[in-house]
Amino acid sequence: METFDYVIIGSGSAGSVLANRLSEDATTSVCVLEAGPRDWHPYIHLPAGFIKTFHMRSINWAYQQEPGPYTGGRSIYAPRGKTLGGSSSINGHIYNRGQRQDFDTWAQMGNRGWGYADVLPYFKRLERRVGEGDETYRGRDGSLTVTTMDWKDPLCEAFMAGAVSLGIPRNPDYNGAIQEGVSYCQRTIQNGLRMSAAKAFLHPARKRPNVHVRTHAHATNIIFEGKRAVGVRYLAGGRGGAPVEVRATKEVILSGGSYNSPQLLQLSGIGSPELLKSHGIEVRHALPGVGEGLQDHYAPRTVGRVKNIKTINELRQGWRLWVEALKWATTRRGLLALSPTMVYCFWHSGETTESSDLQLTFTPASYKEGVQGALEDLPGMTVTSWQQRPESRGYVRIRSSDPFQQPIIQTNYLTHELDRRTIIAGMKLARRLLKSAPLAPYYDYEDFPGPKVQSDEEFLHAATLRGTTTFHPGCTCRMGPAESGWAVVDDQLRVHGLQGLRVVDASIMPRMISANLNASTMMLADKASDLIRGKAAPEAAKLPEMAVA
Ligand SMILES: Cc1cc2nc3c(=O)[nH]c(=O)nc-3n(C[C@H](O)[C@H](O)[C@H](O)COP(=O)(O)OP(=O)(O)OC[C@H]3O[C@@H](n4cnc5c(N)ncnc54)[C@H](O)[C@@H]3O)c2cc1C
* pLDDT 10s digits, 408-456: 999 999 999 999 999 999 999 999 999 999 999 999 999 999 999 999 9
Examine the pLDDT at 253 and tell me if it is beyond 50. yes
- What share of the chain in percent tops pLDDT 70? 99
- The finding on whether 257 has its CB within 6 A of some atom of ligand 1 is yes
Q: What is the 3-state secondary structure (H, E, C) of 362-398?
A: EECCCEHHHCCCCECCCCEEEEEEEECCCCCCEEEEC
pLDDT at 354: 82
The domain ranges of the chain are 2-533
Least confident stretch, 74-78, 147-151, 245-249: 147-151
Task: Band the pLDDT of 548: cuts 50, 70, 90.
Answer: very low
pLDDT at 352: 79
pTM: predicted TM-score of the whole model, two decimal places: 0.97
Q: Are 19 and 211 in contact (CB under 8 A)?
A: yes
pLDDT at 243: 97
E-assigned strands of 192-268? 193-194, 211-214, 217-225, 228-236, 242-254
Please give the distance, rounded to the nearest whole angstrom, from the Cα atom of residue 31 to the centre of ligand 1. 19
Atom in ligand 1 nearest the alpha carbon of residue 507? 26
- The finding on whether 505 has its CB within 6 A of some atom of ligand 1 is yes
- The finding on whether 47 has its CB within 6 A of some atom of ligand 1 is no
Please confirm whether the linkage preceding 243 is cis (ω < 30° from 0): no
- The finding on whether 94 has its CB within 6 A of some atom of ligand 1 is yes
DSSP code for 501: E
Please give the distance, rounded to the nearest whole angstrom, from the Cα atom of residue 259 to the centre of ligand 1. 9
What's the mean per-residue pLDDT of the chain? 96
Distance of CA 48 to the CA centre of its chain: 18
Q: What would the pLDDT profile of 26-47 be if each residue is shown by its tens digit?
A: 999 999 999 999 999 999 999 9
Please give the distance, rounded to the nearest whole angstrom, from the Cα atom of residue 60 to the centre of ligand 1. 10
pLDDT at 334: 87
Backbone dihedral region of 412: left (phi > 0), alpha (psi from -120 to 50 degrees) or beta? left
Task: Band the pLDDT of 124: cuts 50, 70, 90.
Answer: very high
CATH number of the domain at 2-533, please?
3.50.50.60
Task: Band the pLDDT of 388: cuts 50, 70, 90.
Answer: very high
Examine the pLDDT at 373 and tell me if it is beyond 80. no
pLDDT at 483: 96
Please give the distance, rounded to the nearest whole angstrom, from the Cα atom of residue 29 to the centre of ligand 1. 24
Residue 419: partners with Cβ closer than 8 Å, 6 or more residues away:
298, 387, 390, 391, 392, 413
Q: Are 419 and 413 in contact (CB under 8 A)?
A: yes
| Mean pLDDT, residues 5-22 taken together | 98
Catalytic residue numbers? 472
Task: Band the pLDDT of 549: cuts 50, 70, 90.
Answer: very low
For a mutational test of ligand 1's pocket, the pick from 38, 88, 220, 265, i.e. the residue with the most ligand atoms closer than 8 A to its C-beta, is 88
- The finding on whether 472 has its CB within 6 A of some atom of ligand 1 is yes
Q: Which residue has the higher pLDDT, 335 or 212?
A: 212
Atom in ligand 1 nearest the alpha carbon of residue 13? 25
Angle in degrees, CA 499, 503, 507, rounded to 5: 150
Backbone angles phi and psi of 152, in degrees to 5: -90, 100
Segment holding 331, helix H or strand E: helix 318-331
Atom in ligand 1 nearest the alpha carbon of residue 92? 8
Atom in ligand 1 nearest the alpha carbon of residue 234? 42
- The finding on whether 194 has its CB within 6 A of some atom of ligand 1 is no
- The finding on whether 218 has its CB within 6 A of some atom of ligand 1 is yes
Task: Band the pLDDT of 546: cuts 50, 70, 90.
Answer: low
Q: What would the pLDDT profile of 444-476 be if each residue is shown by its tens digit?
A: 999 999 999 999 999 999 999 999 999 999 999
CA atoms of 280 and 272, how far apart (whole Å): 13
What one-letter code names the amino acid at 248? Answer: A
CA atoms of 454 and 437, how far apart (whole Å): 20
Examine the pLDDT at 371 and tell me if it is beyond 80. no
For a mutational test of ligand 1's pocket, the pick from 91, 212, 513, 521, i.e. the residue with the most ligand atoms closer than 8 A to its C-beta, is 91
Residue from 264, 168, 173, 260 nearest 223 by CA: 264
Q: What would the pLDDT profile of 267-295 be if each residue is shown by its tens digit?
A: 999 999 999 999 999 999 999 999 999 99
- What share of the chain in percent tops pLDDT 90? 90
Maximum pairwise Cα distance, the chain:
69
Q: What is the 3-state secondary structure (H, E, C) of 117-173?
A: HHHHHHHHHHEEECCCCCCCCCCCCCCEEEEECCCCCHHHHHHHHHHHHCCCCECCC
For a mutational test of ligand 1's pocket, the pick from 406, 517, 522, i.e. the residue with the most ligand atoms closer than 8 A to its C-beta, is 517
Task: Band the pLDDT of 368: cuts 50, 70, 90.
Answer: confident
Q: What would the pLDDT profile of 307-340 be if each residue is shown by its tens digit?
A: 999 999 988 888 888 888 898 999 999 889 988 8
